[in-house]
A and B are shown apart, each in its own frame.
Chain A
Amino acid sequence: MARIDRYIALALLAFSIGYGYLAWVHPLLPFEARMPFKPNTMPLGLAVLGILFSSLLLLLPNNDEPPKDAEGWRGFAWKDTALLIGLAIGYAILLRPIGFIASTTLFIILSSRVLGETNLFRSTITGLITSGLIWYLVDEVLGIYLVATPGFLGGSL
Chain B
Amino acid sequence: MIDGLLMGLGAAISPFNLMMVFIGCFLGTFIGMLPGLGPMSIIAIMIPIAIQLGDPASALILLSGVYYGAIFGGSTSSILINAPGVAGTVASSFDGYPLARAGQAGKALTIAALCSFAGGTVGALLLMIFAPVLSTVAKLFWSAEYFALMVLGLTAIAAFAGKGKIIKAMCMTVFGVMLATVGESALHNAARFTMGIMDLQSGIYFVTLVMGLFALPEAIFLILDKSRSKAMANNNKIENLRISKEEAKEIAPVIARQSLLGFFVGVLPGAGATMASFLGYGIERNLAPAGEREKFGKGSIRGLAAPETANNAACTGSFVPMLTLGIPGSGTTAILLGALVALSITPGPRLMEDQPEVFWAVIISMYLGNLVLLILNLPLIPYIAKLLTVPRHYLIPFVIFFSLIGAYIGQNNATELLIMIGLGCMATILRFGGFPLPPLIIGFILGGMLEDNLGRAMRKAGGMEFMWERPMTLAILALALVLLVYPIWRDRTKKQSD
**Interface of A with B (CB < 8 Å)?**
3-5, 7-9, 12, 15-16, 19, 22-23, 26-27, 29, 32, 35-37, 39-43, 46-47, 49-50, 53-54, 56-57, 60, 62-67, 69-70, 72-73, 76-78, 80-81, 84-85, 88-89, 91-93, 95-96, 104, 107-108, 111-112, 115-117, 126, 130, 134, 137-138, 142-146
Within 8 Å by CB of A115, from B178, B192, B393, B463, lies B393
Is the C-beta of B140 less than 8 angstroms from some C-beta in chain A? no
Query: Complex Cα distance A46/B193, Å?
Result: 13
Nearest Cβ in chain B — how far from A109, in angstroms?
9
Query: Complex Cα distance A5/B167, Å?
Result: 12
Is the C-beta of B201 less than 8 angstroms from some C-beta in chain A? no
Binds A, one of B106-114, B239-247, B417-425: B417-425
Within 8 Å by CB of A64, from B164, B190, B462, lies B164
Residue in A closest to B228 when the chains form the complex, CB atoms: A69
Q: Which B residues between 212 and 238 are near A, CB-CB below 8 angstroms?
A: 219-221, 223-227
**Is the Cβ of B404 less than 8 Å from the Cβ of A53?**
no
Is the C-beta of B398 less than 8 angstroms from some C-beta in chain A? yes
**Is the Cβ of B433 less than 8 Å from the Cβ of A111?**
no
Tally chain B residues at the interface, Cβ within 8 Å. 66
**Is the Cβ of A46 less than 8 Å from the Cβ of B178?**
yes
Is the C-beta of B350 less than 8 angstroms from some C-beta in chain A? no
Nearest Cβ in chain B — how far from A85, in angstroms?
7
Is the C-beta of B301 less than 8 angstroms from some C-beta in chain A? no
Nearest Cβ in chain B — how far from A58, in angstroms?
10
**Is the Cβ of B164 less than 8 Å from the Cβ of A65?**
yes
For B254, the chain A residues whose CB sits under 8 A away are: none
Is the C-beta of B45 less than 8 angstroms from some C-beta in chain A? yes
Within 8 Å by CB of A92, from B31, B396, B418, lies B418
Residue in A closest to B178 when the chains form the complex, CB atoms: A46
Nearest Cβ in chain A — how far from B479, in angstroms?
20
**Is the Cβ of B394 less than 8 Å from the Cβ of A64?**
no
Within 8 Å by CB of B425, from A29, A85, A116, lies A85
Is the C-beta of B494 less than 8 angstroms from some C-beta in chain A? no
For B177, the chain A residues whose CB sits under 8 A away are: 42, 46
Binds A, one of B14-22, B284-292, B306-314, B407-415: B407-415
Nearest Cβ in chain B — how far from A4, in angstroms?
5
Please judge, given known A-B contacts A115-B396, A130-B398, whether A37 and B454 are in contact too, CB under 8 Å: yes
Please judge, given known A-B contacts A67-B434, A81-B223, A111-B397, whether A92 and B421 are in contact too, CB under 8 Å: yes
